[in-house]
Amino acid sequence: MNTVILGATRGIGRALARAMAARGDRLFLLGRDARDLGASARDLEARAGLAEGAIGSAACDLLEPATFAPAFDAAAAALGRLEAVVVTAGLFATQERLESDRELARRVLEADFSGTVLFCEEARERLLAAGGGRLCVLSSVAGERGRKPVVLYGAAKAGLSRYLEGLDHRFHARGLRVVCVKPGFVRTSMTEGLPEPPFAGEADEVAAIALAALDRGRPVVYAPGIWRWVMAVVRLLPRAVLRRVGF
């Protein structure tokens, strides 16, 4: 697939990009840091046995919507028809930090909800103009219920998940396949130092699940898969119970 990836320089996005490059997909990387993008592109080229410069990149920041259209223009110039867009980029901070720093809270909410939605709108227009395609976005199980440890981050991810669901309903008949990936806690640099809950996952494991869902066009997938059943139980818990527990 000719695929644009926003967030391929670290964590789940890097693992997913490596898996896609290894099987021969043509990739174009988007991100905030030109140096990180270049290093990631060279790493992917080496792993896939490609010539230097085969994988292109462009600047794109979820907090700067003006960068979206030029980034997609650069991707289209390099790849031709865009067949898939993958979004793994986002921001995270603990609830305590978000409560004490309003500017940080604004940035996390904007990057993880409104910025991602506007980026997906640009992707959706481009994919539909080419006759359809696949849009794969990382949300989170944090958006399944309002919970004490992830009030603000969870709210952003809840909104993102509902947006992706609506997008699937509205444009499925026109050939757009929307894939919402809902990871639980994943061991990455973003979560380093945080207490690990049960069922913590690895980036490579989540990337493999996301790639399988992208290939099949599955609308919703949990990663690791056990989170589907964990969150099914959480959704049934009475509000009074959730007030008392720290989960």
Contacts of 8 (CB under 8 A, 6+ apart): 14, 16, 17, 27, 29, 30, 31, 37, 40, 44, 88
Could you give all domains of the chain from N- to C-terminal order, each with its CATH number? 2-244 (3.40.50.720)
* Tens-digit pLDDT profile for residues 119-164: 999 999 999 999 999 999 999 999 999 999 999 999 999 999 999 9
Rounded Cα distance, 120 and 102, in Å: 26
Residue 195 is predicted with a pLDDT of 67
* Tens-digit pLDDT profile for residues 29-45: 999 999 999 999 999 99
Residue 15 is predicted with a pLDDT of 95
Confidence band of 100 (pLDDT split at 50, 70, 90): very high
Q: Looking up tokens 């996301």, which residue turns up?
A: 210
In the beta sheet, which residues pair with residue 157? none
| pLDDT at 187 exceeding the cut of 80 | no
pTM: predicted TM-score of the whole model, two decimal places: 0.93
* Tens-digit pLDDT profile for residues 190-219: 666 666 666 777 889 999 999 999 999 999
Angle at 246 between CA 244 and CA 247, to 5 degrees: 115
Q: Which one, of 86, 100, 76, lies nearest residue 11 by Cα?
A: 86
Residue 214 is predicted with a pLDDT of 97
Q: What is the mean pLDDT of residues 74-88?
A: 97
Greater pLDDT, 89 or 188: 89
Cα dihedral 82/23/62/196 (nearest 10)? 150
Token pair belonging to 61: 């920041």
How far is the CA of 157 from the CAs of 27, 128, 186, 243, in angstroms? 26, 24, 15, 20
How far is the CA of 22 from the CAs of 6, 19, 43, 81, 169, in angstroms? 18, 5, 11, 20, 32
Q: Give kind and range of the element (H or E) at residue 125.
A: helix 116-129
Rounded Cα distance, 230 and 183, in Å: 12
Rounded Cα distance, 111 and 105, in Å: 10
Rounded Cα distance, 8 and 10, in Å: 6
Percentage of the chain lying above the pLDDT 90 cut: 88
* Tens-digit pLDDT profile for residues 102-114: 999 999 999 999 9
